[in-house]
């Protein structure tokens, strides 16, 4: 078969062991002093000197975590990296290296994975494994980071009366998914339909191309604020608050009217007749940082447009609650207080 | 549905996030000083002090890397860990931690993954991700190890005249696979057939339950031998020799009559009418260590039943060759000199 160069598709069959990973990273230079030896031996060699090493791993699977009918392939690698970096950042650490394992069909063009987010986030790709898959596409990423011991922020450091703070806004990724799912259904019925996603661009981008909040860590350093506990919002605000409460043995009062929502989320929630608070509590995939700070640090963050105080921690005996707009106290559950997710 | 306790099958649906990993590791205690914080936060925290960190990652996929019709589930997790540890050991490093990501069907009993090899090899399980899979079973493992900088053995340190040494014996895992494949075909024709695998127990075990050669590193330390280059035999002797030659810019003379073969391999090769040298060169999955040593170290390893000198390195211009039993010099190729593997 003659190679069709105009198509600019490189099949994976043309690449050998580590071929894909080598190809994807050939224009990368190793940026971190901690990377002693990257790809090319049985294993990579790193040296973090006196720093602590932070490590996190995630698996993304076609038709479970993503739907290629609306997820552009070039964003998939990007999102897979973001999910992991978000975990590193939520420890208040610098992300430094990733390993990437891919299972793909042989017909998969490798150009689809060129955008790995590693360049933008200054990450060394130090290892990987590529294999063929008879079924769907799969990405497994392990991310490493480094931090000084005293900077690491666990989930267990929150104290009663600490303020509960979240970066950015919530619920957009979930509503972006709803819009994409709706367009998919429309497309099934009428393949000639041309969806106008322009009004939904913010929430669709939050779903397809999330950004891990490295910038928030830099902001907090600049503001000289050390969070007492931190977690990233991957499963929904409610679930993450409960993790902080459980790990720190504290309670919490979350104020419904303080939850930051983008105007698009509010209008699309009305369009879909879904409660926006429920979406923020249970939607997930926001990859914002949720953290607690000492009340004494409040003046440092006050008025910052990137940070919103949404409540405060309390004694463990009070439990984790939301104070509604109607001033009613409702216990938080892992699926929000009025879940729309079908659980079994 | 009532729970059928007598069946002793715990469905994955009964476990939440990290549930499977937590369950699998609940009886584990963290053994390494370098493990500061294991499972339970957004990421694990490690501290290797002045040691270098070795990291390797691998992906095993059902119907690509293993066939559940003859691979006992309890051995699958074990083998997945071995594949990774072997990469760490081939850097002459101590394996210390792993992360495990699993994609499984909801009906998959977690008892099937209880044997993770982590206990036996003294490895801390520090992270993981469990997800459902609509298709097959999948295991992604990232292994970490530690080593002093000067102990790390790369692929690129071999010098002309260094001796080429391999641990254990070769080709058994591949022939074990042939026996299992044959029994599978017999079973398809006659489901009542009771295969007698007893005569093949050694080679079948090499295929289903390989052991990474941690013991060889300990032996080499004891013998005070520091290999100049090292790699593990995962793809077959020929391919690994070529890696060493290419990375070290040297040639090699491999002696066919020195290749260590178990008697079972020889007899089963006769049974299958396959050349045993070809099997050793191209079979793969042996997970033995292949390394080069300075000739001055020869007296230290001479006569050791675990180690076999199979050749010596040469000037790069000589190329990588095998000297056959008939005293003919044949260039090595990545698929052995007479491949039985269909390539495209």
Residues of chain A with CATH 3.30.1330.10: 11-151
Element (H, E) at A329: strand A329-331
CB B330 within 8 A of CB B324: yes
Task: Judge: A59–B102 Cβ closer than 8 Å, yes or no.
Answer: yes
Nearest to A128 among B42, B57, B65 (CB): B57
Subunit contact A91:B61, Cβ cutoff 8 A: no
For B58, which of A54, A129, A154 is closest by C-beta distance?
A129
Task: Look at residue A258 in the predicted model and tell me its pLDDT.
Answer: 98
Residue B5: the pLDDT is 36
For residue B193 the two structure tokens come to 């057939």
Count chain A–chain B contacts defined by CB atoms under 8 A: 186
Contact B155 A41 (CB under 8 A): yes
Q: B62 falls in which pLDDT band (50, 70, 90)?
A: confident
Which of B42, B48, B231 is closest, CB to CB, to A232? B42
Contact in structure between A322 and A201 (CB atoms under 8 Å): no
- B263-272 and B201-208 are packed helices; what angle lies between their axes, rounded to 10 degrees? 90
d(CA A165, CA A148): 23
Q: Does residue A179 sit in helix, strand or coil?
A: helix
Looking at beta carbons, which residues of chain B come within 8 Å of A145? Answer: 43
Mutate to test the interface with B, among A43, A129, A246, A335 (most CBs of B within 10 A): A43
B65 Cα to chain A: minimum distance (Å): 9
Q: How far apart are CA B296 and CA B301, in angstroms?
A: 10
> What pLDDT sits at residue A40?
83
From the list A48, A90, A136, which residue is nearest B53 (CB)?
Answer: A48
Question: How many percent of chain A have pLDDT more than 90?
Answer: 59
For residues B79 and B82, what is the distance between their CA atoms, to the nearest angstrom? Answer: 5
Both structure tokens of B249? 């810019």
pLDDT digits (tens, 9 = 90+) for A283-304: 999 999 999 999 999 999 999 9
CATH superfamily of A11-151: PurM-like, N-terminal domain (3.30.1330.10)
How far is the C-alpha of A301 from the C-alpha of A291, rounded, in Å? 12
CA distance B77 to chain A (A): 17
Cα A179-A182-A183 angle, rounded to 5 deg: 90
Contact B40 A144 (CB under 8 A): no
* Secondary structure class of B244 (helix, strand, coil): helix
Quick check: helix, strand or coil at residue B205?
Answer: helix
Taking only the tens place, the pLDDT of each residue in B282-339 is 999 999 999 999 999 999 999 999 999 999 999 999 999 999 999 999 999 876 554 3
Using CB atoms, pick whichever of A42, A61, A132 lies closest to residue B90.
A42
Asked if B102 lies within 8 A of A41 by C-beta distance, the reply is no
Residue B4 predicted with pLDDT over 60: no
How far is it, in rounded angstroms, from Cα A308 to Cα A306? 7
DSSP secondary structure letter of residue B171 = S
Per the structure block, which two tokens stand in for A318? 């009070």
pLDDT beneath 70: ranges in chain A: 1-28, 105-119, 335-344
Q: Is A42 in contact with B231 (Cβ distance < 8 A)?
A: yes
Nearest by CB to A36, from B50, B52, B90: name it.
B52
The least confident of B32-36, B163-167, B211-215 is: B32-36
Give the pLDDT confidence score for residue A240 in this predicted structure. Answer: 96
Q: How close does chain B come to A167, measured CA to CA in Å?
A: 17
What average pLDDT does chain B have?
86
Q: Of the candidates B58, B69, B133, which has an alpha carbon nearest to the alpha carbon of residue B102?
A: B133
Which residues touch B137 (CB under 8 Å, ≥6 apart)?
Answer: B61, B62, B68, B76, B102, B103, B104, B105, B108
Is the ipTM of this structure higher than 0.95? Answer: no
Domain with CATH 3.90.650.10 in chain A: 163-331
**Distance in angstroms (rounded) separating the CA atoms of residues A214 and A190:** 41
Residue B337 or B193, more confident: B193
Chain A residue numbers touching B87 (CB-CB < 8 A): 42-43
CA–CA–CA angle B288, B291, B295 (5° rounding): 140
Contacts of A47 in chain B (CB under 8 A): 51-53, 149
In this model, does residue B220 exceed pLDDT 70?
A: yes
Q: Which residue of A has its CA nearest to B104?
A: A61
pLDDT at B151: 94
Q: What is the pLDDT of residue A126?
A: 87
Assigned CATH for A163-331: 3.90.650.10
CATH number for B14-151: choose from 3.90.700.10, 3.40.50.970, 3.30.1330.10, 3.90.1170.50. 3.30.1330.10
Tokens of B25: 């590791």
Query: For residues B65 and B207, what is the distance between their CA atoms, to the nearest angstrom?
Result: 11
Location of each CATH 3.30.1330.10 domain in chain B: 14-151
Tokens of residue B124, six digits: 């801390």
Backbone angles phi, psi at B293, to 5 degrees: -135, 155
Q: Which two tokens stand for residue A195?
A: 């969806």
Asked whether A156 and A247 are in contact (CB, 8 A), the reply is: yes
| pLDDT at site A114 | 60
% of chain B beyond a pLDDT of 90: 59
- Is A154 in contact with B232 (Cβ distance < 8 A)? no
Binary contact (A99, B142; C-beta < 8 A): yes
């Amino acid at each position: 078969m003659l190679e069709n160069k105009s198509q600019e598709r490189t099949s994976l069959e043309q690449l050998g062991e580590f071929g894909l990973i080598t190809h994807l990273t050939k224009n990368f230079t190793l940026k971190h002093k901690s990377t002693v030896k990257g790809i090319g031996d049985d294993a990579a060699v790193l040296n973090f000197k006196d720093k602590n090493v932070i490590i996190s791993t995630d698996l993304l699977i076609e038709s479970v975590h993503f739907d290629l009918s609306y997820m552009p392939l070039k964003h998939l690698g990007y999102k897979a990296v973001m999910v992991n970096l978000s975990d590193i950042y939520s420890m208040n650490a610098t992300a430094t290296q990733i390993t990437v394992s891919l299972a793909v069909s042989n017909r998969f063009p490798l150009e689809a994975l060129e955008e790995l987010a590693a360049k933008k986030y200054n990450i060394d790709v130090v290892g990987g494994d590529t294999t063929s898959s008879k079924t769907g596409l799969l990405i497994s990423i392990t991310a490493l980071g480094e931090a000084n011991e005293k900077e690491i922020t666990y989930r267990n450091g929150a104290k009663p009366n600490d303020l509960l703070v979240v970066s950015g806004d919530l619920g957009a990724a979930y509503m972006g998914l709803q819009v994409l799912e709706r367009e998919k259904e429309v497309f099934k019925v009428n393949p000639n339909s041309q969806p106008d996603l322009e009004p939904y661009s913010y929430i669709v981008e939050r779903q397809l191309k999330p950004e891990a909040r490295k910038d928030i860590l830099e902001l907090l350093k600049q503001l000289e604020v050390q969070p007492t506990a931190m977690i990233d919002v991957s499963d929904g605000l409610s679930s993450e608050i409960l993790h902080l409460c459980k790990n720190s043995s504290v309670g919490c009062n979350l104020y419904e009217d303080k939850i930051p929502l983008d105007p698009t989320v509010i209008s699309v929630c009305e369009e879909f007749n879904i409660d926006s608070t429920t979406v923020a509590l249970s939607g997930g995939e926001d990859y914002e940082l949720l953290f607690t700070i000492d009340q004494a640090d409040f003046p440092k963050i006050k008025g910052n447009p990137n940070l919103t105080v949404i409540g405060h921690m309390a004694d463990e005996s009070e439990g984790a609650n939301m104070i509604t707009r109607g001033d009613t106290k409702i216990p938080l559950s892992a699926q929000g207080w009025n879940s729309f997710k079908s659980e079994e």
